[in-house]
A and B are shown apart, each in its own frame.
Chain A
Amino acid sequence: MIVKRKALSFWERLYLPALLSGLKVTIGHFFRKSVTMQYPEEKWVVPEGYRGAPYLVKDQEDRTKCVSCQLCEFVCPPKAIMITPPGPASAPETGNVEKAPLEFEINMLRCIFCGYCQEVCPEEAIFLMKDYSLTGTSRAEMIYDKEKLLALGGVHQDSIQKWKRKQDEAEIQGVGAHPVVNHGSTDK
């Protein structure tokens, strides 16, 4: 099909008026508020509810909230989370905290920021924070380990404080819940 070219009017054929109207827009922008950010020195503050990188949190008493129930590992669609639960010799010095992860890795290259881990967590131990620009110079660097995740996650102001409450209740009832009650096992 051949489209017939529309004939230009005299005013249009003058060329300069169109150029000037374009320049008007350009000059107008000089006097508006700037929308450009000096990234990365200046960073965009994401809105509430934004799903950024998932990190682990601690409670006010510096306890790792994660109990390595592995539900996030189970629910994670791209299988980005890998948890090594504690062995039987899990540290007795952690008070009445029965279980915590020995290692907790999130492969941020795999993570799709869906938020299922936060949704499934029964302990409120993992949150999608507002970090959106995750960079690294190698694949290995993009696998965040427990230390890194906890450092990035910070402290969660926990209103329940499960372990503390359990300890207090047990103490009031005079049950020496911890340390391990030994009923005379000889072989340890």
Chain B
Amino acid sequence: MPSASQNETEPSVPPPNTISLKVNGRDVSVSKTFQDPVSKCPIPTTMIQACSVAGIEVPHYCYHPKLSVAGNCRMCLVEFGTPAMGPDRKPILNPDGSFRITKSPRPAIACATPVSPGMEIYTDTPGVKQMRESVLEFLLINHPLDCPICDQAGECKLQEYSVEFGQANSRFVEKKVHKPKQVDLGPRIMLDDERCILCTRCIRFSRDLAGDDALGIVNRGSYNTLSNFPGKPFDNNYTLNTADICPVGALTSKDFRFQMRVWFLKETKSLCTSCGTGCNILIGSREDKVFRYVPRENDDVNSCWMCDEGRLNYKWIGRGDRLDSVVVRRKNKKIETTGWSSVLTEISQHLTSAPKGSVSIIASARQTNEEFLLLAALAKQCEALTDTIPRTGPGDNFLVSPDQNPNTMGARLTGFAKGIPGENLQAIAEGVRIGKIKTLIVFGEDVTEHGIDADAVAKLDALIVSDILPNATTKLADFLLPGCAHAEKRGTFTNVKGRVQKFMKAVEPPGDARPEWEFLHDLLSKLSGKTDCSTIESLFNQLAENVPSMKGLTWASLGDSGVTVSIEPD
């Protein structure tokens, strides 16, 4: 949306790059052009954007602020007028000095009509009301009207606008045209052609943004049908975004389809943890079960989109084999399930007695900034060698980052792993093997895959492990501390570009599992005797004080969309 430069005090001298006009009699000024979301070139500002600046929502289906304009649904029809021009090509003025307006005899679609100076837009006239009603009547002619079965019900624009602008009864007595249902478009998308209103949002998204021109409309007239090319599945890594932008229930996610009605879902602002991009998401959960991720708009990070891989990477959160109790494995192989306070006391006694330099910490770059701050403090206390484990993938040039850890930057900025991720791993593995390192603390990684196998672990005095899911390392752990998934705690991540963003808690952790920052804080206060920063807010504020590039940030000032900090090495 172009930012409106407010200029209401002196309307006679507008800045050269803005246009003043009236929407329903209200003066607004908008910039002449805005950046096209696809080509990134400046294009003229349209009436729908001017209305939005004026705080008036014009109903629309095919228009989407992040897509190219198609202008096919006709839902955004508005009436307008322009200043009348005299023979000298100068505006004719009324006696009071205002422009004399000639009302256009025809309406125009607000999404594709550029604004002009002095224009007046009317969105609440009887004519506009009648047009909206008629457009909706046409859209509903062949629509099956099966909201009870439709997965979109509750977040369907057709439903919403029908209630707001439609007419109560259908005058259509003929047989509806039937189209293919439950069409298998690709591995993740299911299409119901009867519900499709042919807005072509999905086609434009796939072609312009995902770079996979896979969809198109076939057949003519009322038999218009959305389809993919025969034999070519719709299977790029961004297909599920089309289910998001589909204003009706035509495109649905196979994963979420019929799982839960959307009005039961609690939406929690969170972040995707599948790569270093840190796409903003909403977690939809009900009764401590995560049902879906949907992207949350943040123009500085992910716009309105997220990749399918990240979106579907949530099922492990509620898995049955989650670690949910504190386990201590004694030297005589006896396994005890114990409580948090006794295990933390035992660990702190062990760490106090451990000689300086004999402790090492390997933490996953999936831990939060706050946890890295505490881990760095722990490392300083024990003079420990620290590192994270790098995880890289191919990445792409849209959203997916080659760094598949969500918080590599956080580990660097907090000083936990200052250098290249993984540079100390060799030294730690070697230290364990020769017996120099006697205590190994592992957070969220399987170190047996990184040069520290069971034989090496046997040489340790203590292996302290915190993790979420069982793996080879958790099986060997002397102290096993069950941690939380990001959906079960609060915290912040720093993405690859240095954007510090916070995420909220959506569901309760299983059993005795506790957020890592909580028990790390307890452990540190046992070690050092200090008990400050017992909340995530104060912990973040302390983090901001300690990290030079985050100076001045507070938990509250991060907002929902985060703040970009400098990632230049200091």
Q: Which residues of A does B touch, CB under 8 Å?
A: 67-71, 73-74, 85-88, 90, 96, 98-99, 122-123, 166, 169-170, 172-173, 175-188
Q: Are A74 and B261 closer than 8 Å at their CB atoms? A: yes
In chain A, what residue has the closest Cβ to B261?
A70
Q: Which residues of B does A touch, CB under 8 Å?
A: 144, 146-149, 153, 175-187, 190, 227-228, 230-235, 254-255, 257-261, 263-264
User: A71: shortest Cβ distance to chain B, in Å?
Assistant: 7
Q: How far is the CA of A68 from the CA of B255 in the complex (A)?
A: 17
Known: A69-B261, A172-B175. 8 other contacts (CB 8 A): A85-B260, A87-B258, A90-B258, A173-B178, A177-B180, A184-B230, A185-B187, A186-B187
Q: Are A180 and B258 closer than 8 Å at their CB atoms? A: no
User: B254: shortest Cβ distance to chain A, in Å?
Assistant: 5
Q: Are A181 and B180 closer than 8 Å at their CB atoms? A: yes
Q: Are A181 and B254 closer than 8 Å at their CB atoms? A: no
Return chain B residues, CB-CB under 8 Å to A68. 258
Q: Are B148 and A184 closer than 8 Å at their CB atoms? A: no
User: A186: shortest Cβ distance to chain B, in Å?
Assistant: 6
Given contacts A187-B187, A188-B184, are A88 and B259 in contact (CB under 8 A)?
A: yes
Q: How far is the CA of A135 from the CA of B138 in the complex (A)?
A: 53
Q: Are A122 and B184 closer than 8 Å at their CB atoms? A: no
Q: Are A178 and B254 closer than 8 Å at their CB atoms? A: no
Tell me what chain B mostly uses at the interface: helix, strand, loop, or mixed: loop
Please give me the 9 A-B residue pairs with the lowest Cβ-Cβ distance, nearest first.
A69-B148, A187-B187, A184-B231, A170-B178, A185-B233, A175-B178, A122-B148, A70-B261, A181-B180
Q: Are A173 and B183 closer than 8 Å at their CB atoms? A: no
Task: Point out the residue from B144, B146, B234, B255 that lies within 8 Å of A88, measured CB to CB.
Answer: B255
Q: Are A88 and B181 closer than 8 Å at their CB atoms? A: no
User: B179: shortest Cβ distance to chain A, in Å?
Assistant: 6
Return chain A residues, CB-CB under 8 Å to B264. 70, 73-74
Tell me what chain A mostly uses at the interface: helix, strand, loop, or mixed: loop
Q: Are B233 and A69 closer than 8 Å at their CB atoms? A: no
Return chain A residues, CB-CB under 8 Å to B153. 69
Q: Are B177 and A122 closer than 8 Å at their CB atoms? A: no
Q: How far is the CA of A156 from the CA of B186 in the complex (A)?
A: 39
Q: How far is the CA of A74 from the CA of B261 in the complex (A)?
A: 10
Return chain B residues, CB-CB under 8 Å to A179. 182
In chain B, what residue has the closest Cβ to A74?
B263
Q: How far is the CA of A18 from the CA of B54 in the complex (A)?
A: 89
Q: How far is the CA of A122 from the CA of B148 in the complex (A)?
A: 7
Q: Are A180 and B182 closer than 8 Å at their CB atoms? A: yes
Q: Are B176 and A169 closer than 8 Å at their CB atoms? A: yes
Return chain A residues, CB-CB under 8 Å to B230. 183-184
Task: Point out the residue from B149, B183, B255 that lies within 8 Å of A69, measured CB to CB.
Answer: B149
Can you give 14 contacting A-B residue pairs, CB < 8 Å? A85-B261, A88-B255, A98-B182, A123-B148, A169-B176, A177-B180, A181-B182, A182-B184, A183-B184, A183-B228, A184-B230, A184-B232, A185-B185, A186-B187
Q: Are B182 and A88 closer than 8 Å at their CB atoms? A: no
User: B186: shortest Cβ distance to chain A, in Å?
Assistant: 5
Q: How far is the CA of A35 from the CA of B260 in the complex (A)?
A: 51
Return chain A residues, CB-CB under 8 Å to B181. 96, 98, 177-178
Which of A90, A175, A178, A183 has the most chain B CB atoms inside 10 A of its CB? A183
Q: Are B258 and A85 closer than 8 Å at their CB atoms? A: yes
Q: How far is the CA of A121 from the CA of B185 in the complex (A)?
A: 32
Return chain A residues, CB-CB under 8 Å to B146. 98
Task: Point out the residue from B178, B190, B254 that lies within 8 Å of A169, measured CB to CB.
Answer: B178
User: A58: shortest Cβ distance to chain B, in Å?
Assistant: 17
Q: How far is the CA of A172 from the CA of B174 in the complex (A)?
A: 14
User: B250: shortest Cβ distance to chain A, in Å?
Assistant: 14
Q: How far is the CA of A187 from the CA of B308 in the complex (A)?
A: 15
Q: How far is the CA of A182 from the CA of B175 in the complex (A)?
A: 26
